Structure 1
Amino acid sequence: RGGRGDHATDIAPHEREPQGDWPLGGYVCTLHTSLELFTLNSCQKGRRVGYKCYLVYRTYETYAGAAQKCLERGGRMAMPRDRKEQEALADYVKAFFQPGNWPVWLGINDLRSEGLYLFEDNTRVTYFQWRKHFLSSQPDGGKRENCVAMASDDGDWWDNYCDRNMSYLCEFDA
């Protein structure tokens, strides 16, 4: 095992050649990247709030696709748990997409039971930022719209069809 600090390089004798590994001189080299370094770099591009770092991804994904992409990047979908986090995320998303209104997926849904909103980590949502307007208050989708997105113009939440493609917001431990 060689390397410096948190960025270690494992060098192990090569015993067999599984698909995708290419031996060099009888050894296979594997580089382990540090998640800490990844989140630090992400925070420089995103928004830090307390001990979390948030990053908007402009690519379009379904709710499930967005959740998977966040996991692949070492994070999870954004889960604003209080007014402070919500306001910080709303400001960040508004600045990111201005001008215009582009919704982003949050890690909130009521897929398990209609009207029972849970975060992606299966904890219950206790703070809400639903759109309240006499023409179109939210949530309004009943059993058809079970996943939550935040509008980039005002930060309000809307329930949406989970298979709709839109940008998404990931959170990482900072």
Structure 2
Amino acid sequence: MYSATEDLTLYSGAYEQCRRQGGMVAIPRDEEEQRNLVFLKNCVNNGHPFWLGIKKIAGVWSDDSGTALGNFTSWAPGEPDEDKPCSYIVKGDHEVGERRDNWADTYCHSGFSYICEIEVQPDHTVPPCSAAATASQRADDGSMARVATIAGSALASIVLAHVVLAYPNMFG
């Protein structure tokens, strides 16, 4: 399951939020997961870059546990281009050409949106698609968020994707 937010945060903030949800910052491991994450990212906000859970550790691009990337990558042309330790999915709206929706490296203190990848437990019950209405939900910090559930054949490998769209001023 993937949970996405358009809130902008440092990589460390995204890491902590995903950890609190029992997951990690999302990492696409194949072309299908890349398409799914890009689809979800662009549904939330195609004008924001989104963190990837891939960091350069001792010169090797790895997940937060230190496991090196497998064979799949989706670096934008010319990327990774410098000695920057974090990575993100390039925004999808104004970016031109082949960079759009591909990966780039950056500094971890940039402010980006993020997607958490959360393992679904085998006994997890998924509601039917007809129950996929938007609703308000109170976050841990007391703020309100609007939650929309997205599912469909384009996301066949995702049991359920929760898109969390934060509206900090809406609920005062």
Taking structure 2 as the reference length, what is the TM-score of the superposition?
A: 0.61
Question: Where do 4+ consecutive residues of structure 1 move more than 6 Å?
Answer: none
Structure number with higher relative contact order (C-alpha < 8 Å, ≥ 6 residues apart): 2
Aligned partner of 2:85 in structure 1 is 146
1:157 equivalenced with 2:103 (yes/no):
yes
State the partner residue of 1:79: 27
- What residue in structure 2 maps to residue 120 of structure 1? 64
Distance 2:108 2:49 in 1: 13
2:81 and 2:91 map into 1 onto residues whose CA distance is 19
Q: Deviations over 1:96-124 (max 9, x none)?
A: 214xx3101110010x212x100123211
CA contact (8 A) 2:22 2:119 kept: no
The one-character-per-residue Cα deviations of 1:3-46 (angstroms, maximum 9, x if unpaired) are xxxxxxxxxxxxxxxxxxxxxxxxxxxxxxxxxxxxxxxxxxxx
Number of residue equivalences = 112
Q: What does the per-residue CA deviation read over 1:55-109, in whole Å, with 9 as the maximum and x for residues that have no partner?
A: 11122211112101110122111011111111111122122214xx310111001
Distance 2:9 2:26 in 1: 15
Gaps of 5+ in 1: 1-52
Report if the CA contact (8 A) 1:87-1:155 is conserved: no
Unaligned runs of 5+ in 2: 93-99, 121-172
Deviation, 1:152, is: 3.4
- The 2-side partners of 1:84 and 1:151 are apart by 17
Does the 8 A contact of 1:149 with 1:159 survive in 2? Answer: yes
- The one-letter code matched in structure 2 to 1:149 is Y
Contact 1:131 1:158 in 2 (8 A): yes
Report the CA distance between 1:150 and its aligned residue: 0.5
Greater Rg by CA: 1
Judge conservation of contact 2:18–2:25 (CA < 8 Å) in 1.
yes
Counting aligned pairs with the same residue, the percent is 29
> Aligned partner of 1:138: which letter?
E
* CA RMSD between the two structures: 1.3
For 1:37, the equivalent position in structure 2 comes to none
**How many angstroms does 1:163 deviate by?**
0.9
TM-score by length of 1: 0.60
Following TM superposition, by how much is the alpha carbon of 1:146 offset from its aligned partner in structure 2, in angstroms? 0.9
Secondary structure of 1:117's partner?
A: strand
